[in-house]
C-alpha cells in the first residue's frame, strides 16, 4: 500500500504548533531517524509518511507534487506557487502562524496613508529624482500583483537579503513590503502600515497538492484525515450548552435556533436540552436561558463534531479524476 506524504515544518514554533494540531486529532508525529531525522510517521493513522522540511521548501514540494499534503503559511504558497489555485487547495486553516503581508512607509510621510497616496508620491518621486521608488521585499510576486491592482507602476523591487524593515533607514529603499505579526518591529523602525496596505492575512494551513500523483490507497487515507480535520474545525468555534427543559417553551427554543444561531443536535424531546452555539454568542444564549428561569446551565468545549457531509472529499476526488 502506497503512503500518503505530508510535509510539516522541521523546527520552531510552526513545528510545535503543527504537532499540537495533530495531537488534537488523536494523532502523534514520530521521527523515524531520531530527533534530527527528516522522515517520520503519524501514529494513529496508517500509511502516512511525514517529511520534515522548511516552510518555504514545503511550498515548493506542494508545487512540484513531491508531497500530497503540507503545512505552511499562505504567504509562502501565494508567493512561490504560480497559479496557485490550479495547483493546490487550502483544506484547513489551522489557527496559528498568523501574520500579515503589508505595505509600510516611513512615519515621516505624514500625507501618505492609503495606496492612492502612494501612487501620487511614486509619480512625483520619479519626476523629482529621475528614478522610481524602491521597495525592499522578499515577496516579489505578491507585491507586483497588489500594486498592479492599485494601478501603481512607478516603482522597482529591491531584493531584501536581511531585515527588510531596516532598508529605508539604511537608504537601500524608500518603503517595504514585509510580513508582520504585531507591527512592533515596524514601529521600532519608524514605519507605518498603510490603512489599505494589507496584501494578505496569512496563517498556517493544511494544503493539498493537485500536482502530486494520487492513487486509491492515498485517497483512502486522505478521506480518513479529512473526516478528523473537518470534525476538529467544526468544533473549534463551538460550545455545547446543556440545561433542563423546565421553564422552556417551544417558542423559547425556536427563538434560540432562529435568532441566536443555535443547533439542536439531538432535538428537544428528552428531559434536557442540548444546544450547540458559536463561542461568541454563548453568553447571550445563557442570559436568555436565565431569563426563562432555567436554574442549572452547563457549558463545555467540544473536541469534534462529526457529520455525514463528505462534500469536501468528493470535490477533491472529482477534481483529481479530471487531471
CA torsion sign for 105, 110, 114, 119 is negative
- Tell me, yes or no, whether 317 lies in a domain: no
Q: pLDDT at position 35, please?
A: 63
C-alpha cell of 308? 455525514
Tell me the helix, strand and coil percentages in the chain, rounded to 5: 40, 30, 30
Express each pLDDT in 40-88 by its tens digit.
Answer: 999 999 999 999 999 999 999 999 999 999 999 999 999 999 999 999 9
Task: Specify if 66 maps to a domain.
Answer: yes
| Residue 312 belongs to a domain | no
pLDDT of residue 34: 67
175-180 vs 99-106, strand pairing mode: antiparallel
280 DSSP assignment: G
Q: What parts of the chain have a pLDDT lower than 50?
A: none
Same-domain status, 107 and 197: yes
pTM of the model: 0.85
**Whether residue 144 sits in one domain with residue 72:** no
Q: State whether 215 and 273 are in the same domain.
A: no
User: Is residue 149, in this structure, part of any structural domain at all?
Assistant: yes
- The answer to whether the beta carbons of residues 174 and 133 sit under 8 Å apart is yes
In 203-259, the DSSP E strands lie at 204-209, 238-244
175 shares a domain with 39 = no
188-219 pLDDT, tens digit each: 999 999 999 999 999 999 999 999 999 999 99
Specify the number of domains making up the chain.
3
Alpha carbons 151 and 115: distance in angstroms, whole number: 9
Residue 134 within any structural domain of the chain: yes
For residue 241, the enclosing domain spans: 237-301
User: Is there a single domain that holds both residue 90 and residue 214?
Assistant: yes
**Residue 152 and residue 79 in one domain:** no
CATH assignment at residue 10: 3.40.190.10
Residues listed for the chain: 323
Q: Assess whether 104 and 196 both reside in one domain.
A: yes
For 125, list phi and psi in degrees, rounded to 5: -60, -40
Q: Closest by alpha carbon to 226, among 58, 29, 30, 25?
A: 25
What pLDDT does residue 190 have? 95
Tell me the C-alpha distance between 119 and 288, whole Å: 52
Asked if 209 and 253 sit in the same domain, the reply is no
74 near 89, Cβ under 8 Å? Answer: no
Residue 309 belongs to some domain of the structure: no
DSSP-derived letter for residue 123 is H
Q: Are 135 and 176 in contact (CB under 8 A)?
A: yes
Residue 110 and residue 46 share a domain: no
Instruction: Write down the pLDDT at residue 1.
Output: 67
CATH number (domain holding residue 256): 3.30.70.120
User: Does residue 319 fall inside a structural domain?
Assistant: no
Residues 65, 141 share a domain = no
Instruction: Among 148, 178, 201, give the residue marking a domain's end.
Output: 201
Task: Tell me: do 8 and 143 sit in the same domain.
Answer: no
Are residues 191 and 47 part of one domain? no
Amino acid at each position: 500500500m502506497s503512503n500518503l506524504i505530508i510535509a510539516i515544518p522541521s523546527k520552531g514554533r510552526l513545528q510545535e504548533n503543527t504537532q499540537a494540531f495533530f495531537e488534537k486529532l488523536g494523532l502523534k508525529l514520530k521521527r523515524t531517524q531520531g530527533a534530527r531525522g527528516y522522515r517520520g510517521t503519524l501514529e494513529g493513522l496508517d500509511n502516512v509518511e511525514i517529511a520534515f522540511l522548511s516552510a518555504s521548501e514545503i511550498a515548493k514540494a506542494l508545487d512540484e507534487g513531491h508531497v500530497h499534503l503540507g503545512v505552511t503559511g499562505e504567504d509562502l504558497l501565494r508567493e512561490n506557487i504560480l497559479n496557485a489555485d490550479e495547483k493546490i487547495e487550502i483544506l484547513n486553516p489551522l489557527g496559528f502562524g498568523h501574520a500579515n503581508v503589508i505595505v509600510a512607509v516611513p512615519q515621516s510621510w505624514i500625507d501618505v496613508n492609503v495606496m492612492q497616496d502612494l501612487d501620487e508620491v511614486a509619480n512625483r518621486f520619479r519626476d523629482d529624482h529621475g528614478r522610481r521608488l524602491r521597495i525592499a521585499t522578499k515577496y516579489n510576486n505578491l507585491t507586483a500583483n497588489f500594486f498592479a491592482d492599485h494601478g501603481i507602476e512607478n516603482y522597482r523591487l529591491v531584493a531584501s537579503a536581511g531585515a527588510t524593515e531596516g532598508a529605508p533607514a539604511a537608504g537601500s529603499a524608500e518603503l517595504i513590503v514585509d510580513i508582520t505579526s504585531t507591527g512592533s518591529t515596524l514601529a521600532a523602525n519608524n514605519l507605518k502600515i498603510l490603512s489599505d496596505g494589507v496584501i494578505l492575512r496569512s496563517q498556517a494551513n493544511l494544503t493539498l497538492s493537485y500536482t502530486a500523483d494520487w492513487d486509491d490507497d492515498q485517497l483512502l487515507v486522505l478521506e480518513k484525515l479529512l473526516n478528523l480535520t473537518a470534525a476538529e474545525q467544526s468544533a473549534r468555534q463551538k460550545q455545547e450548552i446543556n440545561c433542563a427543559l423546565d421553564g422552556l417553551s417551544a417558542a423559547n427554543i425556536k427563538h434560540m435556533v432562529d435568532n441566536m444561531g443555535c443547533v439542536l443536535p439531538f432535538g428537544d424531546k428528552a428531559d434536557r436540552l442540548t444546544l450547540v452555539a458559536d463561542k461568541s454568542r454563548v453568553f447571550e444564549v445563557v442570559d436568555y436561558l436565565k431569563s426563562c428561569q432555567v436554574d442549572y446551565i452547563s457549558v463545555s468545549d467540544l473536541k469534534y463534531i462529526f457529520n455525514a457531509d463528505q462534500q469536501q472529499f468528493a470535490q477533491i476526488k472529482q477534481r483529481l479524476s479530471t487531471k
